[in-house]
């Protein structure tokens, strides 16, 4: 483990220990809200968005302790690499799909940018600019700090923003936009058009959208009790609120004016990496329990790790059954005219 990882884990523990009672309660309430959603409660999007923000405020610090600073699980493209190495490979592949003509002069948009580490990687690869927005101010604060620490504040621009509202960027600003497990899991079907239209508006003609996103596969059947039961178990663990089919997203992108160039399953499975993380978290629980015993961490942290683990197993089962995909690939282009 290198110094960066140790430092990140320690900062994560410190931030967890410093959470206010309100933040902790809001996180617990959010998890219960997700579970009620899975039990069939009808919920309004604004309440879902609030729950997501409350939940991620805690989760981003918790998972950073376990080397999950970019909050997404990539496909295992190279068995010899761990989570981080495979994230880098996945990001390179998405960047290639954007087919940038002038990388150094490019300005990209990272939708649901988390702690900005993917944006940082893209800006490093292109030499250009990346803007990112996210619903959770806590993650945005971390992203801004990291850009400053790297001396890249002039090329990395982060702000709080919500997919469900008009994007706060001028029309035709970006040479490409992208997302990593951060956009479609938070949309109801009837809301897809509004966001697709916003993506179209902020992209320059000829620019592309590319992603690695959680979507159901066409094999998922809402009338199959086993599928529905796995979905109920894994969705709160993904901290997602909705599950779309690729065809629904592609149709919305096409209605917005995009040409959809690709809609395809991930190149390889994510479950081996999910299982590695599950084992790491299992090992880490001894440390968490010790910290709880001396009251550095509150007892609910271990409880939430329990829930993460059982949902993780459901995810593995679902992915092996090919009914859901964490890294479905979509590439869409705004036509030149």
Ligand X SMILES: C[S@@+](CC[C@H](N)C(=O)[O-])C[C@H]1O[C@@H](n2cnc3c(N)ncnc32)[C@H](O)[C@@H]1O
Q: How far is CA 219 from CA 186, 236, 318, 325, in A?
A: 21, 21, 11, 11
- Minimum gap (Å) between residue 133 Cβ and ligand X: 6
Of the residues 146, 158, 169, 186, which one makes contact with ligand X according to CB under 6 A = 186
In whole angstroms, how close is the CB of 252 to ligand X at the nearest point? Answer: 16
Q: Does 120 bind ligand X (CB under 6 A)?
A: no
The CB-of-328 to ligand X minimum distance in angstroms stands at: 14
Interface with ligand X, residue 333, by CB under 6 A: no
Least separation in angstroms between CB 241 and ligand X: 8
Which residue in the block uniquely carries the two structure tokens 């069939």?
A: 40
Other C-beta atoms closer than 10 Å to the C-beta of 127 total: 12
In angstroms, what is the minimal distance from the CB of 299 to ligand X?
A: 25
Is residue 49 near ligand X by the rule CB under 6 A?
yes
Q: How many Cβ atoms from other residues are within 10 Å of residue 256's Cβ?
A: 19
HEC profile of 100-135: CCCHHHCEEEEECCCCCHHHHHHHHHHCCEEEEEEC
Cβ at position 69, least distance to ligand X in Å: 7
Contact yes or no for 250/260 (Cβ under 8 A): yes
Binding mask 56-95 for ligand X (x = CB under 6 A): x-------------xxx-----------------------
Pairing of strands 156-160, 129-134: parallel
User: Which contiguous run of DSSP H or E holds residue 309?
Assistant: helix 300-320
Task: Give the residue from 45, 68, 156 showing the smallest Cα distance to 108.
Answer: 156
CA distance 307 to 319: 18
By rule CB under 6 A, what count of residues binds ligand X? 23
Q: Does 8 bind ligand X (CB under 6 A)?
A: no
Where does this chain touch ligand X (CB under 6 A) — which range of 14-22, 178-186, 266-274, 325-333? Answer: 178-186
Q: Does residue 132 interact with ligand X by CB under 6 A?
A: no
What dihedral do alpha carbons 253, 256, 261, 265 form, nearest 10°?
0
- The reply to whether 50 sits near ligand X by the rule CB under 6 A is no
- C-alpha to C-alpha distance for 65 and 55, rounded to whole angstroms: 16
C-beta of 191 vs 292, nearer to ligand X: 191
Distance CA 60, CA 116 (A): 12
User: Could you say which of 27, 37, 51, 52 contacts ligand X (CB under 6 A)?
Assistant: 52
Residue number with CB closer to ligand X (13 or 52): 52
Judged by CB under 6 A, the chain residues 139 through 168 that form the site for ligand X are 139, 161-164
Residue nearer to ligand X on the CB measure, 136 or 325: 136
* Cβ-contact 192, 252 below 8 angstroms: yes
Among 12, 74, 75, 114, binds ligand X (CB under 6 A): 114
Q: How far is the CB of 225 from ligand X (least distance, A)?
A: 27
Sign of CA dihedral 150, 156, 161, 164: negative
Residues found near ligand X in the complex (CB under 6 A): 49, 52, 56, 70-72, 112-115, 118, 134-136, 139, 161-164, 180-182, 186
């Amino acid at each position: 483990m290198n110094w960066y990882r140790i430092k990140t884990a320690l900062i994560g523990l410190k931030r967890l220990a410093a959470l206010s009672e309100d933040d902790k309660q809001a996180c617990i309430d959010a998890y219960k809200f997700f579970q009620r959603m899975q039990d069939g409660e009808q919920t309004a999007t604004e309440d879902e968005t609030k729950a997501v923000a409350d939940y991620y405020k805690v989760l981003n610090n918790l998972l950073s302790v376990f080397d999950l600073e970019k909050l997404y699980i990539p496909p295992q493209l190279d068995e010899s690499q761990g989570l981080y190495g495979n994230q880098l490979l996945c990001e390179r592949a998405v960047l290639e799909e954007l087919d940038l003509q002038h990388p150094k002069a490019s300005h990209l948009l990272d939708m649901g940018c988390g702690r900005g580490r993917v944006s940082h990687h893209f800006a490093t690869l292109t030499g250009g600019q990346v803007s990112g927005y996210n619903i959770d101010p806590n993650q945005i604060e971390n992203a801004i700090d990291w850009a400053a620490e790297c001396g890249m504040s002039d090329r990395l621009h982060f702000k709080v923003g919500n997919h469900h509202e008009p994007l706060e960027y001028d029309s035709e600003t970006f040479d490409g936009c992208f997302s990593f497990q951060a956009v479609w899991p938070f949309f109801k079907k009837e809301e897809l058009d509004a966001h697709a239209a916003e993506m179209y508006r902020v992209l320059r003609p000829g620019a592309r959208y590319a992603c690695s996103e959680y979507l159901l596969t066409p094999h998922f059947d809402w009338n199959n009790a086993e599928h529905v039961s796995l979905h109920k178990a894994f969705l709160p663990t993904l901290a997602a609120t909705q599950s779309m089919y690729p065809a629904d997203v592609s149709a919305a992108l096409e209605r917005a004016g995009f040409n959809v160039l690709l809609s395809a399953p991930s190149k390889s499975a994510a479950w081996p990496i999910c299982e590695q993380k599950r084992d790491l978290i299992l090992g880490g629980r001894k440390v968490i329990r010790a910290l709880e015993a001396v009251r550095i961490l509150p007892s609910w942290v271990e409880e939430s790790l329990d829930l993460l683990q059982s949902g993780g197993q459901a995810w593995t089962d679902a992915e092996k059954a090919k009914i859901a995909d964490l890294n479905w690939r979509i590439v869409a282009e705004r036509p030149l005219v």
